[in-house]
A and B are shown apart, each in its own frame.
Chain A
Amino acid sequence: MAEVTLTNVCKSFGDDVALDDVSMTVPDGSFVVLLGPTGAGKTTTLRMVSGLDTPDMGKITIGGRDMAGMTPAQRDVAMVFQQYSLYPHLTVRQNLEFPLKSPILRTPQPEIDRKVKEVAEVLQISHKLDNKSTALSGGEMQRVSIGRALVRQPSVYLMDEPLSSLDAKLRSDLRIELKGIQANSGATLLYVTHDQIEAMTMATHVGVLDNGKLVQFGSPRELYENPVSVYAASRLGQPRINMLPADIFGGAPAAATHIGLRPEQILQGNGEDSTVHRIEHLGDQTRLHLSFKSHDLITVTDAHTDLKVGDIVKIRPHEALYFGANGARVA
């Protein structure tokens, strides 16, 4: 359990700038989620912290200690790889035991057995413990790979899209387990995901990466309600925030070129006319695709709505977000 800081960290691969002057503090015991589209530098950030790669510039500390020149083993981090690399010559059990048997931990066998059993139960892989690790499904491999991190109690857990290939039920089970483990043990987690729900439900802090730059860092709520840019606003929210010309409803601030409307910022019932051109019933909610002054926008409505394609819905904005020409938030 430790605080992690990155100060002015830069990393390039040839001409490819993977991280551009990233500074961030992962508080002790926090659950920090990194968001960003593919190639944004999320994996690179984790690799910097783990010590598998070293920054070209800048400083990384874990628990207040400078990590320059420290090997991954000395940093005491556990990592779940995006490529869940199980040791193919070992069984599932041996894979889970591997970190505990390291020369640094040298855990006694009874303790190893207890930990492995416990973690296998949490991850629902107890029945596969004696399988060869190559004889598993993708989702099972991914769980073993999470397990290999969870058997330890490192200063920081680094997880790179750990739940990406699990089914919806398992994913929500493990979301709760992971959050529980973090909350109970006070572990520090740096976690990469593309999944909205994971970010919103588990994170204490969210960092948004754009092309190697950290553009916003704050609580998920802050990020959702108070995004600094169009880019940050687009990271969270299902369906995505709607972007329309700023003056479409009138009353926009002078510098604004776009108005951003999340579904709950579109009030239905009065205002201006829009036409329903598509309806998606998702079970717990219904998505309305509306045509409004030749723009498309998506919002949500009752699960049991009577609306049909072609109906007219009156809409008006409520506490909308305004953005300037360069994408930055203006109001």
Chain B
Amino acid sequence: MSFSATEPTRGTKWFAGIAVVLYAIITLIPLLWIVATGFKSPADSISYPPVVVFEPSLEGYVNLFTARTRATEDMLEAAGPAVTWYDKITRNRGTIISGPSRYGERFMNSIIIGFGSTLLCMILGTAAAYAFSRFKVPLKDDLLFFILSTRMMPPIAVAIPIFLMFRNLGLNDTHLGMILLYTAVNLSLSVWLLKGFIDEIPIEYEEAALIDGYTRFQAFYKVVLPQAATGIASTAIFCLIFAWNEYAFAVLLTSGTAQTAPPFIPTIIGTSGKDWPAVAAGATIFLVPVMVFTILLRKHLLRGITFGAVRK
């Protein structure tokens, strides 16, 4: 059997494999439970002992996306026979659909605010990190420390000043306000992470590009950015996850127009009894964008492109 310094032995591989699978199962069970609950009937969702095998139903999803009113016999007759499959589901419960719920809007708000702040944070963060990494910035170390220090207390500690500031600036319950807020909170993390990644890119590449006839900005764009892709992708995922899941500020600063999904989902519980399948459906859909985003960026995370072309 050959022996290598870098290849783990077969025993280690097995052990690592089993550990990873166990860990994955443990972390995935709650997630699977939520997804399953979304497809249960209200009765199944609260039955004890819990049911593992059940007849799937889309009632949770229908309830999530619709507003319904309890209907009398007369009203049901007046409305005529159910035409669509979702009408049928609600009629069975003695309700008729009175319109769409607010979930769609709230979900879109989450998308706009989450991705908007992530994008802004990447643009500002990369520019700042590049400057800190490459230029002589007066008081560089102090500035970097200051940027980091903004994360030393929980952001919510300054909730009241921010609330007052937003009210005076007319940013309360606006997309712009939330995007700016999440960008500000995420910026310290992204500047620090990205500076680390950009520091790793040898300056020789930019110098070569400058000689090759490019301006500094073009060199940054054509040479530094592609090599920083790995770092930018992972930083973007961190920023998105924070902005996407943020709850406290969203409760405090949004109520209607710009309300995101996290503060909205719990309100589903209250509207018509404990509708757990609808809550679970809302949570399931809420999980999808971050998952898709992470999977899309995965190839950047795994690609080590900066190794090996500079003679050290």
List chain A positions with a Cβ less than 8 A from chain B.
50-52, 71-73, 77-79, 81, 83-89, 98-99, 102-105, 133-134, 138, 141, 148, 165
Contact = CB atoms under 8 A, between A and B. Distances in A.
Contacts of B255: none
B212 A85 contact: no
B137 interface: no
B30 interface: no
Contacts of A84: 310-311
Contacts of B204: 81, 83, 85
A102 B214 contact: yes
A83 B211 contact: no
Contacts of A99: 212-213
Most buried by A among B208, B213, B312: B213
B211 A72 contact: yes
Nearest to A90: B226
Interface string B199-223: 0001011011111111100100001
Interface in B173-214: 202, 204-205, 207-214
A133 B309 contact: yes
A98 B209 contact: yes
B213 A89 contact: no
B311 A134 contact: no
Contacts of A85: 202, 204-205, 207-208, 309-310
Contacts of A81: 204, 207-208
Size band of the interface chain B makes with A: 20 to 34
A83 B307 contact: no
A190 to B, nearest CB: 13
Given A81-B204, A83-B204, A103-B218, A88 B309 contact: yes
A105 B213 contact: yes
Contacts of B227: 88-89
Which 7 residue pairs are nearest across A and B when measured between Cβ atoms?
A102-B213, A85-B204, A99-B212, A88-B309, A104-B213, A72-B210, A89-B226
Contacts of A83: 202, 204, 310-312
Given A86-B309, A87-B208, A88-B205, 16 more contacts: A51-B210, A52-B210, A72-B207, A73-B214, A78-B212, A79-B208, A83-B202, A84-B310, A85-B208, A88-B308, A89-B305, A103-B215, A103-B218, A141-B311, A148-B208, A148-B212
A88 B208 CA distance: 12
Interface of B is mostly: loop
Most buried by A among B204, B227, B305: B204
Given A87-B205, A88-B227, A89-B227, A78 B311 contact: no
A84 B309 CA distance: 8
Most buried by B among A50, A71, A89, A98: A89
A226 to B, nearest CB: 36
B72 interface: no
Given A85-B309, A89-B305, A134-B308, A71 B210 contact: yes
Contacts of B307: 88, 134
A104 B311 CA distance: 28
B306 interface: yes
A87 B223 contact: yes
Contacts of A71: 210, 215
Contact of A73 (B205, B213, B306, B309): B213
Interface string B269-312: 00000000000000000000000000000000000011111111
B306 to A, nearest CB: 6
B117 to A, nearest CB: 28
5 contacts: A73-B212, A73-B214, A85-B310, A88-B205, A99-B212
Nearest to B312: A83
A134 B227 CA distance: 13
Contacts of B309: 85-88, 133-134, 141
Nearest to A72: B210
A73 B307 CA distance: 27
B12 to A, nearest CB: 29
Interface string B6-45: 0000000000000000000000000000000000000000
Given A85-B202, A85-B205, A133-B309, A50 B211 contact: yes
Contacts of B207: 52, 72, 81, 85
A104 B202 CA distance: 24
A98 B212 contact: yes
A62 to B, nearest CB: 13
Contacts of B312: 83
